[in-house]
């Protein structure tokens, strides 16, 4: 999202090596065209987790488990993650990756559609990471707010759509117009929700950081 590629390359070059299993999974995701969080977003999440020290995390959009494993590395002792995925082909790969990383006891994968799963969940979460279908975030928002603890943090990824979000509806390709208008609606809601304080960051593909007040 930061438009200057050299700046992004420079920022990425400062990153040190990750846990070897995570590095392998990241490479496997690249080889199989599975979208996972970008390096800058990884660094942001790690730092946020260390500050927030969440005991319970909910992730919407597991893919093959990369970000769930990454987050689990930066949680306090005993911290638990619930992650939700509906794409059948990715679920066994994610489960295998949790096993490879030795995280089966810390990460619980729930299979199914995010909205239905969220509606069935109770208890509260200290951090929710929203990283699924961008056009659906607006539908998940009421459940996300309900499930967040007071002071809980909502991180929404890919909210600036590689810059498309600032374009007029008619400048966006026709097939992307629904997502475009839903994302603008989502960002408006995040900024005007009476229970949320939100900062929108041009980081990676755009990250919205909200806190429930």
Ligand X SMILES: C[S@@+](CC[C@H](N)C(=O)[O-])C[C@H]1O[C@@H](n2cnc3c(N)ncnc32)[C@H](O)[C@@H]1O
Q: Which residues bind ligand X (CB under 6 A)?
A: 35-37, 61, 63, 66-67, 84-87, 90, 113-114, 131-133, 136
In the sheet that 107-111 helps form, which strands lie side by side, from edge to edge? 107-111, 80-85, 56-60, 125-130, 148-157, 207-212, 196-201
**Which CB, 132 or 208, lies closer to ligand X?**
132
Cα(106)–Cα(171) distance, integer angstroms? 44
User: Least separation, in Å, of the C-beta of 51 and ligand X?
Assistant: 20
**Which CB, 140 or 196, lies closer to ligand X?**
140
* Cβ–Cβ under 8 Å, residues 53 and 75: yes
**Which CB, 42 or 171, lies closer to ligand X?**
42
Q: Is 187 helix (H, G, I), strand (E, B) or coil?
A: helix
**Which CB, 37 or 183, lies closer to ligand X?**
37
The dihedral over CA atoms of 95, 147, 39, 187, expressed in degrees to the nearest 10, equals 140
Please give the C-alpha separations between residue 91 and each of 21, 107, 112, 204, in angstroms, as whole numbers: 18, 13, 10, 25
Ranges of H-type helices in 75-211? 90-100, 114-120, 137-147, 177-192
User: Least separation, in Å, of the C-beta of 210 and ligand X?
Assistant: 17
User: Least separation, in Å, of the C-beta of 36 and ligand X?
Assistant: 4
- The tokens for 49 are 């987790």
User: Least separation, in Å, of the C-beta of 122 and ligand X?
Assistant: 19
User: Which residues sit opposite 171 in a β-bridge?
Assistant: none
Cα(88)–Cα(190) distance, integer angstroms? 31
**Which CB, 42 or 210, lies closer to ligand X?**
42
**Which CB, 5 or 88, lies closer to ligand X?**
88
User: Least separation, in Å, of the C-beta of 23 and ligand X?
Assistant: 13
């Amino acid at each position: 999202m930061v438009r200057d590629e050299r700046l992004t390359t420079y920022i990425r070059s400062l990153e040190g090596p990750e846990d070897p299993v995570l590095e392998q999974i990241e490479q496997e995701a690249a080889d199989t065209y599975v979208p996972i969080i970008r390096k800058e977003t990884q660094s942001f999440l790690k730092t946020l987790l260390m500050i927030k020290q969440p005991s319970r995390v909910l992730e919407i959009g597991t893919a093959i488990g990369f970000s769930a494993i990454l987050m689990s590395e930066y949680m306090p002792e005993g911290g638990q993650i619930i992650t939700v995925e509906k794409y059948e082909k990715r679920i066994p790969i994610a489960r295998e990756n949790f096993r490879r990383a030795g995280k089966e006891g810390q990460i619980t994968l729930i299979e199914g559609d995010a909205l239905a799963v969220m509606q069935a969940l109770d208890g509260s979460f200290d951090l929710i990471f929203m990283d699924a279908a961008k056009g659906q975030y607006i539908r998940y928002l009421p459940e996300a707010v309900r499930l967040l603890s007071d002071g809980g943090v909502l991180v929404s990824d890919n909210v600036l759509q590689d810059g498309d979000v600032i374009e007029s509806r008619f400048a966006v390709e026709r097939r992307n117009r629904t997502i475009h208008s839903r994302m603008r609606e989502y960002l408006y809601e995040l900024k005007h929700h009476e229970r949320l304080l939100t900062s929108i960051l041009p980081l990676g593909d755009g990250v919205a950081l909200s806190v429930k007040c």
